Structure 1
């Protein structure tokens, strides 16, 4: 079992993003997902800059995967996805069918994102025929169905697909063409002034006052994180090769180190409080 880490879910400043990228080589994970997945308008490093950091991280033994946008609904989004898919140095995580088509046209392998909603063997077989070499099951699939799907993929496909489960974090529940963060501030997506990068991630509650959703621009995330860390050895027995961490804007690098050490020793994971996405701080 190996640990993977997503660093591209939340609206961070350029300085915070730079801080994260500079620490890539030191993080205690085997794979890192980079690239803008949420909104084309957000401040982000240029692709050439991202590739430079990715190359440095790969030289330190990390596998780097470049993720695409979760939704393409205009020419600017399409251009960004095309640029990511056309680079040939690193594996691409295809987050929607636009990216899948671009990778298939080039006959290049890709990772099938949880956002592709692959629930059954037929969809996995089709995705493999287009070039998928691994997949992350959808966030809303039950553990029992995920186990069944992974087992079927290992038994029935021409070549087994590498499987990854979301082990901890606030993964995406829904994606919209509209930006809820801008709407809350009385703006629209076209004239948002990147308000998401100036404020904390909004938290939506029920009428009873219970925390329900983190509002992340055009995306919604659950207020409670997925947490499968106590079952990581069980998932390893089920054939899962990767356990993915999808943290908030803040993640303690020491915590990552402890997770890696405990995983290697087959020991129970040491825990401490992980800041929720409403906190806007970078990796420390």
Structure 2
């Protein structure tokens, strides 16, 4: 099993981003995804900054992938996407179909990110024909669904042509909207948001009327309120999954990575906290559910 560090979902000060990736360079992750995937107004780091970090991580022996935005809203967003997709030095994670079209035209192999709706073998085969080399499964799919896709007639004989990555830890990215929910929660319009996301380095929690932690709002992105944790599912992934993705957080990301790596070396059931963690989607049950021990 290989481990990846997904792109930072939140808006952090530049200093925190650089410090985070200095730690990543010394960590046990194999793959690091870089770039802004949520909101184009978040400009603490420029393109040259991301490329500098990418070069440093490459020198540290990490595979670096540059991630694109999941929702493009303006012509300038598209121009930035075109510039990114012309970067041949690093592989690109495409999070919308526009990126896939640009990468196919350029003839660059790419990663299909979890924001792309791909739910069957036929779609996966089409993406493979366009240049896909790695597929990050949509977060709401289960182990059984994944198994059915990989064993489907359309893709079964092509399994050795791409790798499979599964989002395995963190607040699940559930949806994107043209509205900024963080600004709205502060009674601000999106155009006058004052970049308020930077005040919430792990997103802003939204509770139901009964006090349940239902969602985390992160600008235009809605995330699950509880953290998805598949640390106990590594054995059930054998033969299906090549890479487990850890989603960055400001505080304990590298402790989590160590826990996943140690779990793979010495498998044992790790008790999860049902008030904070879930794994329902992997078991094809309600997403907010924490299933029991998995084989």
TM-score, shorter chain, exceeding 0.5:
yes
Give matches, 1:31-70, under 5 Å.
31-70=31-70
TM-score (norm 1): 0.89
CA distance in structure 2 between the aligned counterparts of 1:7 and 1:271, rounded to whole angstroms: 27
TM-score (norm 2): 0.85
Q: Which runs of 5+ in 2 are unaligned?
A: 277-295
Equivalent residues, number: 272
Cα 1:101–1:254, aligned 2, differ >3 Å: closer, same or farther?
A: same
What is the deviation of 1:271?
7.4
Does residue 251 (structure 1) correspond to residue 252 (structure 2)? The answer is yes
What is the deviation of 1:158?
7.7
Deviations 1:193-230 (A, max 9, x none): 10111246221122222111000000000011222110
CA distance in structure 2 between the aligned counterparts of 1:73 and 1:7, rounded to whole angstroms: 20
In structure 2, what is the equivalent of residue 183 of structure 1? 184
Q: Bigger shift: 180-189 or 103-112?
A: 180-189
Q: Which secondary structure state, in structure 1, belongs to the residue aligned with residue 178 of structure 2? A: coil
**Which of 206, 212, 215 is the matching residue for 2:214?**
212
Cα 1:199–1:114, aligned 2, differ >3 Å: closer, same or farther?
A: closer
CA distance in structure 2 between the aligned counterparts of 1:122 and 1:181, rounded to whole angstroms: 37
Deviations 1:38-80 (A, max 9, x none): 1010133221221122112112211111100010111121122
In structure 2, what is the equivalent of residue 193 of structure 1? 194
Give matches, 1:87-236, under 5 Å.
87-152=87-152, 155-157=156-158, 160-199=161-200, 201-235=203-237
CA distance in structure 2 between the aligned counterparts of 1:151 and 1:5, rounded to whole angstroms: 27
What is the deviation of 1:143?
2.2
Q: Give me the CA root mean square deviation.
A: 2.1
Q: Answer whether contact 2:205 2:225 (CA < 8 A) is retained.
A: yes
Cα 1:118–1:80, aligned 2, differ >3 Å: closer, same or farther?
A: same
In structure 2, what is the equivalent of residue 281 of structure 1? none
